[in-house]
Structure 1
Amino acid sequence: MPVLCVNVDHVATLRQARMGIEPEPVTAAYMAELAGAVGIITHLREDRRHIQDRDVELIRATCNTRLHFEMAATEEMQQIALGLSPETVCLVPEKREELTTEGGLNCVGREQHFKDYLAPLHANGIRSSLFIDADPQQIEAAHAAGAEFIEIHTGHYADAKDMNQRKNELEKILAGIRQAQDLGLKVNLGHGLNYRNILAFKNVTGISEYSIGHSIMARAIFVGLDRAVRDMADIVRTFAD
């Protein structure tokens, strides 16, 4: 069965808005774990705009679920990942001016670069994922780079302006899932998924994990974090695999 992994970056964003000590993303990670999250996601950006080094260190030390460490493919982040030893690293693109990750990583023509970059992580038992768009060339490149997983960027689907556009984006994702499966890649989905648009994947086989943060934290404002995570975990549990 597919599982839910909860991103706690937005808790850190709220804390950093006042450069204070609350809300605490480590507490959010622990509560999400108790409510049914199978993994906790943190994105330690180069500019440290939300999650901080101490956050990932404390989450790694205190939570019993998987730590999924999102990061740019830099030497600094590689060394941090080797020290943390998360279950999975996910390489993502970063731009200083973006509010959130706007699209997938460009892997085409960089297959050997990523393969070499991931080699020491793999040697230390850390699984790897590449965050990419549902593009056939990118999926082929991710496979050639030696990643075990891809995380398909679902933001274009989630942000579609009308039903036709959403249908087209969904079809691209479904085709990407099939292609990845044929290549032997494991598939995660993430970015912009919420309690409504995720239902389109109810009967889609071959999805390992759903990576969700913003919609859960937004719902938590009104119903509390425990219920918000449980509601999403219940949805994911109903999906076929």
Structure 2
Amino acid sequence: MYFTMTKLSVNINKIATLRNSRGGNVPNLLKVAADVQDFGAQGITIHPRPDQRHIRYQDAYDLKSVVTTEYNIEGNPIPQFVDLVLDIKPTQVTLVPDSEEVLTSNAGWDTVTHQDYLKEVIKTFKDAGIRTSIFIDTDLALIEAAATTGADRIELYTEQFAKDFEAGNTAGVKAYREAAIRAHELGLGINAGHDLNLDNIAFFKSEIPNLAEVSIGHALISESIYLGIENVVNMYLDRLKG
């Protein structure tokens, strides 16, 4: 087992989805961001997409004065996204290779094929003083290629782990543990996200060394419908202790 402090960054995209479904400002995205920080979350994550179907670009600007912990903006580094991040200068930018039509992120970067592109984009962000992270699968060759892009961290794409865990296959975490170990050896920080939830987060945390941060949105907001958001944030924080 590994015992290090792991930060919880709450992805509030689903709050924006609910707001947008009726128009107006209910629920109030900025208040939710402020509240979850007051409840103990150590970061806020947003993932604006070009069609602004949940987080709007204006939200990203409005949140800058609200987020007093760590502000993580994730997305595909198209020119509009790059300009947004450079204007806001969040704590961290997480690069995700999702196309416009996908409902949610469904793949990590091929850091070998896109090496030159990633180097260019990452240098742009790092020159602005923004920590960079690459959304990535567990393939060790891709982890090693990520280390040569100039990125500060990787974010392990954990959908397959979550599927394996739900099916009772806890051995599925082995690839994530090996990826984290190799990343740490190469000087990369380790984040994780996608389909992590209250059922699987404690086990994942216990198996992954040097896990700096998890970003959780869909599950956390869904669980909050039954259990209340303050309670759920604290349940995650309790499971992430160590």
Q: CA deviation at 1:208?
A: 0.4
Q: Once the two structures are superposed, what CA deviation does each residue of 1:53-74 show, in whole Å capped at 9, x if it has no partner?
A: 1211111112211100002111
The correspondence of residues 18-97 of structure 1 with structure 2, limited to 5 A, is: 18-97=22-101
Q: Is the Cα–Cα contact under 8 Å of residues 49 and 100 in structure 2 kept in the other structure? A: no
Please identify, of 109-118 and 189-198, the stretch whose mean Cα deviation from structure 2 is larger.
109-118
- Give the match's secondary structure for 1:67: strand
Q: Once the two structures are superposed, what CA deviation does each residue of 1:193-218 show, in whole Å capped at 9, x if it has no partner?
A: 01111121343321101111112111
Q: Once the two structures are superposed, what CA deviation does each residue of 1:44-94 show, in whole Å capped at 9, x if it has no partner?
A: 112211001121111111221110000211111111101000010000022
The correspondence of residues 1-241 of structure 1 with structure 2, limited to 5 A, is: 1-160=5-164, 162-164=167-169, 166-168=170-172, 170-203=173-206, 204-237=208-241, 239=242
Q: Once the two structures are superposed, what CA deviation does each residue of 1:99-147 show, in whole Å capped at 9, x if it has no partner?
A: 2111212222211211111212111110000001111122112111110
- Give the match's secondary structure for 2:27: coil
Structure 1 consecutive aligned stretches of length 4 or more whose deviation exceeds 4 Å: none
Distance in 2 between residues matched to 1:125 and 1:66, nearest whole Å: 14
The number of residue pairs the alignment matches comes to: 236
Change (3 A) 1:109 1:58: same
- Give the match's secondary structure for 2:209: coil
- TM-score normalised according to structure 1 size: 0.93
AA in 2 matched with 1:25: L
- Give the match's secondary structure for 2:73: strand
- Give the match's secondary structure for 2:10: strand
Distance in 1 between residues matched to 2:59 and 2:77, nearest whole Å: 20
AA in 1 matched with 2:202: L
Unaligned runs of at least 5 residues, structure 2? none
Distance in 1 between residues matched to 2:203 and 2:66, nearest whole Å: 34
Q: CA RMSD in A?
A: 1.4
Identity %: 33
